[in-house]
Amino acid sequence: MSNAPVIAAVDGSEDSRRALEWAADAARRRTAPLRVVHVRQYAAWGQADVLVAGPPDAEGDPVLDEVRAQLRDRADAATVEYVALEGVPGAVLPELGADAQLLVLGSRGRGGFASLLLGSNGLAAARDAACPVVVVPRPGRTVHGEGPAEPGRRVVVGLHVDTPDEATLDFAFTEAALREARVEVIAAYPWPVQTWSAPGQLVPPPIDRNAVEDETRTLAEGFVAPHRKRHPGIRAEVRALPGDAAGHLVAASRDADLVVVSRHRRRLAAPARMMGSVTQAVLLHAASPVAVVPPQADE
């Protein structure tokens, strides 16, 4: 899909303007066309999953006219296509990923409630789109925990050593190469491990934490090795950390270029696409843009 576009979903909100800037930069780095899409919502019952093209000429769309003005003076602007569609955004947006490299949107558009950090349209796109989805947060999110060990550009990627996903690692390394950044791989392991000898009786774990950490790091290094080989110019650091994976990824998002997480694989008991709790927590709380990558099995 080398000629596939980077799609920016816009709705005239400040959130979507930030997403547009991110998408325009991503298209330039990939030498890919930029497709700017405005989905105008209608309220017709029973048509939630119907994709209807807007007027043949999108010139009359005020949201797209505003975007044209925003991009007009960019010296580095990619080839831009403007598309107006009608439908329910939560149903239409995921369908746009069928022929895209990336789908980029803001953390919340005009339809979101003020109390929500991530709107339902963003959740639907991240869960259902066939391509990676990047959600650009509002500036100023506060994250807790240690900051980066050293300055410089970073792409952070979460790795579950029990169910590693090659597509997620490949996306992170490719993005780092495009940005001349290093890769920070976070492999979390559960700790403390609790066992029960009898109802109500908690016993200390007979497990060596150092051994668990070493095994996690060794497994992670093995999964990362092929990507290091394909991207010899990219420096990658593997961090094996105890406890909450989402918390570590959110903490690492401070001053990061991007956090990359995977979407759940489909399972026999739950064949519909799902988004894991870690991915959802990172989308809700990360300070940097977050890329949600569909697993290879979904593609």
Confidence category of residue 82, pLDDT binned at 50, 70, 90: very high
Residue-level pLDDT at 112: 44
- Considering only CA atoms, which of 21, 49, 47 is closest in space to residue 34? 21
Segment (H or E) for 260: strand 258-262
CATH number of 154-298, picked from 1.10.287.610, 3.30.70.3270, 3.40.50.12370, 1.10.10.60:
3.40.50.12370
Query: Tens digits of per-residue pLDDT, 23-64?
Result: 999 999 999 999 999 988 764 444 444 444 444 345 678 899
Query: Tens digits of per-residue pLDDT, 240-290?
Result: 999 899 999 999 999 999 999 998 654 444 444 556 789 989 998 999 999
Same fold, 6-136 and 154-298: yes
| Residues written for the chain | 299
Residue 180 neighbours by CB distance under 10 Å: 12
Residue-level pLDDT at 297: 55
Rounded-to-10 torsion of CA 277, 279, 280, 284: 130
Residue-level pLDDT at 54: 42
Residue-level pLDDT at 166: 94
Domain ranges of the chain: 6-136, 154-298
% the chain with pLDDT above 70: 77
* Coil/strand/helix, residue 229: helix
Query: Tens digits of per-residue pLDDT, 187-229?
Result: 999 877 655 555 666 666 567 889 999 999 999 999 999 999 9
Considering the segment(s) 6-136 as one domain, its CATH architecture is 3-Layer(aba) Sandwich (3.40)
Residues 125-132 have a mean pLDDT of 91
Mean of all residue pLDDT scores within the chain: 82
CA distance 166 to 153: 22
Identify the residue with better confidence: 57 or 158. 158
Residue 72 neighbours by CB distance under 10 Å: 9
Residues 92-110 have a mean pLDDT of 86
Buried/exposed 40-68: b ≥16 CB within 10 Å, e otherwise: eeeeeeeeeeeeeebeeebeebebbeebe
Residue-level pLDDT at 292: 96
58 Cβ contact list (under 8 Å, min separation 6)? 38, 64, 82, 83, 84
CA distance 82 to 34: 9
With beta carbons less than 8 A apart as the criterion, state whether 34 and 78 touch: yes
